[in-house]
Structure 1
Amino acid sequence: MDADFARCTDAWIAHAVTGALSGAAWIGAAGLAFAMLAAWPGADTAMSRWPAALALLLALPQLWLLLRVAIDQRLFAALAAGAPDQPGLARLDAALLELGWMPAARAARPLAERARGALRLVRASAALTVCQLLLALLSLMLR
């Protein structure tokens, strides 16, 4: 009974993280839109150019986060669809190691630790989006 409870808990963790990563994709897209708004043609003064340039520079890590979020969303969705038991995680680790996407020291982590790592991506994307929004507003105010 205890193993079944843990397996169901892990499945719900995977579902919750999949949802959060889905939201992060929208947050990241909004951040890119804010960067484009900041750089919209019309940044004609030197004062309005620097926030626009900084917003565009922040678009680079935002793009990287969007890629990571998309990959992790697929992986957590697959874990949510099946039972994310240790053999499933072991096969996932083997695939990530084979691709060179994960160092060997990070293999065999429990699902909860993986979930916390994925949620750090969500928070990082949200922080970048807030910065891009503030820079877009500053750029618009300085025009």
Structure 2
Amino acid sequence: MRADPVDSIRSDNTDAWIAHAVAGALSGAMWIGLAGIVFAMATAWLAVTAPAPRALAAAPLLLALVQLWLLLRVAIDRRLFDALAAAASHYGSPDLAALDTALIELGWITASRAGRPLPERARGAMRLVRASAALAAAQLAFTLLTLILR
């Protein structure tokens, strides 16, 4: 049986707990984002199959493009926070400098963004979670509006 990674976290290792919490929130955001995509597809289908304004089909599809981008970002960040949690659990602290070096080499961040502490990175990831939830809520609103206008 595989050991739970949380069992190996020392009680004084706040970075590991932060990383685990954010990874969990990002996992949830993936499901929320997928729900938003489903709502967008449902709205488009409803708008095309009924005499509803075409904008009701177009708007959710445009929002779905943003939602797809957010899903990609959420998936990447979830993996990174999983790795940070594992490193912090095992070594006592995450290697943020190595992560920054890798992200700079990939061209994903500029050197001026390197060196941010884990809590600041966590807040940035949580903005992605909130944006994904807001888009999913908008998609649901479009779906309900399309049903009402049918």
Which TM-score applies when normalising by structure 1? 0.90
Q: Please say if residues 17 and 119 of structure 1, whose CA atoms lie closer than 8 Å, have aligned partners that are also in contact.
A: yes
1:124 counterpart = 2:131: yes
- The higher-RCO structure (CA 8 Å, 6+ apart) is 1
Residue 24 of structure 1 corresponds to 29
| Cα deviation 1:73-95 (Å, max 9, x = unaligned) | 00000011112736x10000000
Q: Which residue of 2 aligns with 1:45?
A: 51
- Aligned equivalents of 1:139 and 1:43: distance in 2? 11
Distance in 1 separating the partners of 2:112 and 2:51: 50
The percent identity for this pair of structures is 67
Task: Please tell me the residue identity of whatever aligns with 1:67.
Answer: L
Distance 1:40 1:46 in 2: 11
The SS at the match of 2:115 is: coil
Deviation at 1:53, TM superposition (A): 1.2
- Equivalent pairs, count: 136
2:66 aligned with 1:94, yes or no? no
User: Structure 1, unaligned stretches of length 5 or more?
Assistant: none
CA distance in 1, matches of 2:112, 2:100: 11
Runs of 4+ in 1 over 6 A off after TM superposition: none
Cα distance in 1 for partners of 2:35, 2:130 equals 14
- Equivalent residue number for residue 136 of structure 1: 143
RMSD (CA atoms): 1.5
**Whole-Å Cα distance in 2 between the matches of residues 98 and 28 of structure 1?**
28
Deviation at 1:9, TM superposition (A): 0.3
Mapped partners of 1:19, 1:29: distance in 2: 16
Q: What SS does the aligned partner of 1:18 have?
A: helix
- Picking from 20, 38, 45, the partner of 1:15 is 20
Aligned residues of 1:43 and 1:139 also touching (Cα < 8 A): no
1:112 pairs, out of 84, 104, 119, with 119
Please state how far the C-alpha of 1:45 moved relative to its aligned partner.
Answer: 2.1
Asked if structure 1 preserves the Cα contact closer than 8 Å seen for 2:44 and 2:57, the reply is yes
Structure 2: distance between partners of 1:138 and 1:67:
28
CA contact (8 A) 2:52 2:146 kept: no
Number of the residue aligned with 1:85: 93
Query: Aligned letter for 1:82?
Result: A
Equivalent residues of 2:52, 2:149 under 8 A apart: no
